[in-house]
Structure 1
């Protein structure tokens, strides 16, 4: 997603010349289908379509490749001096690249759709690849399935095929992709330890929203890389517009504020919900938040990652931020492995042992 931001920025700030899209991979490849590189008229580029082995070749020849319009070029990254496909570099695969002039209506429509996706408007892009005497044709569909753009050369039947209204009636090659909005991360807590978390998320191209009930901490100048910095009101997280695909990390270090925010956050059921703090503190928080909203502890634990973050080891805000970002990434990509999250049984055990109540007494005394 950060790469998409860089490509769109170069497109807006420079005279774009050629857009290269990785459309097919056979065997091993550093990048997967959908990776892009935008080359401008000065020879500068943004994005990558390999681990660096093809970029130099493309920046030298891309303008020549599109002299007659868009084309599909095949490269082998096998280490083989006798291969007919240029040129073996030892990466272990064959890649097909769509190379298109950046000034065409089709490319402009794609770039605008990419830019809109960064603002949260998702799209489906269907591209009929050039070949057999036909040029590149493209349809851009909005999130509701409406046609945002369609090449002039496309028939209504082709457009209906793109919309899924009719089965594909021929063997023409197509490349279909979903332009998803950036991952949104809500950092609920604006202490100093939230800064590396915000920085790492921004490095990945995520949209980061920082919120805290303490206005003296929730200031934009403290989090320059965040998309928004919000001072929370009495409704906690309820007014932030958190959705099911979002991630949220609760880390205010204030027991009372954490409890109120957690109670407002649970019914929203974001895709990832992490709670920073010791197990005994988190156990009491979950128990009390469950009672506040009339849920069982088991229902709450099913939604919460606590202790937050993967068990990577290390100490300090940066190491914790890395562990949290890694777990959010794994969870949101469907790659979550072994979890350390609380269960109803562990919550009950912590409370029974009395650790949570002792921690609360110390915490309350510190906050006073």
Structure 2
């Protein structure tokens, strides 16, 4: 009985010491983190201002396989947001908002954790240094209740570790992107080529849309986002784990009033999918006539006709047309496509 009284007294004493020590701990904390990355600001900034890009390299999101993320339009810039939750630990949840954007210069974000009504304030400043970029993180933690102020003593270390690991991920991601960009700079546009294509497995969605300039492209953008969100969020695929998005349709679909097409991304193999809207489709190995095209989406028709006419001239049957988007379809005024048509005797 005596030992119990002593233990209770010691706990009470420790509680008093802890409560008194909290007087010297601020209710919130401000700190600054500076990092440099060996890529120009125009390459770096979109990885922050687009939250879908942001979650690919930020380890808080990318390292948690149990985390589900929902994005809300607009997907980029001021007003974009996301909500996240850990399915195995629902205490790990929250919302992230972009509140202010000054392109290639400044971003202001707010992060709400759980049911906390006071957000983290995250201001990001981007300083161009030629082919490098300095990123300055100004972080203000939420105000903590008196007896929880000790959390402010460890918050900076947690943020520093996350930022350090995330910047390594970002450098790796940009390295892959720039390598792809360099390859594209050497492409021969508007020249008919012959290619042997290996078989591929595509994850995607079957779609019907009106074949007008605005309606069709807007429909493609919507389904592009659906497919990539499912691959990245539901299947947990990183950017280097899937290929360039492909639209499959009949070669002369541009003559129809309504278009049926399949939009998907290549994956290494089939795997279980829980959403009946998505399906797998196999592209068999084939010999293809190919044209790399850059311009307005509407003007691609001339290049498609060139592929079809060449197949007829060579007395070959043609298969399903593939429109491979080498750059993300954001605007119909400027697209970069690989138009590929399988041909057979």
TM-score normalised over the length of structure 1: 0.24
- The structure with the largest strand share of the pair is 2
TM-score normalised over the length of structure 2: 0.25
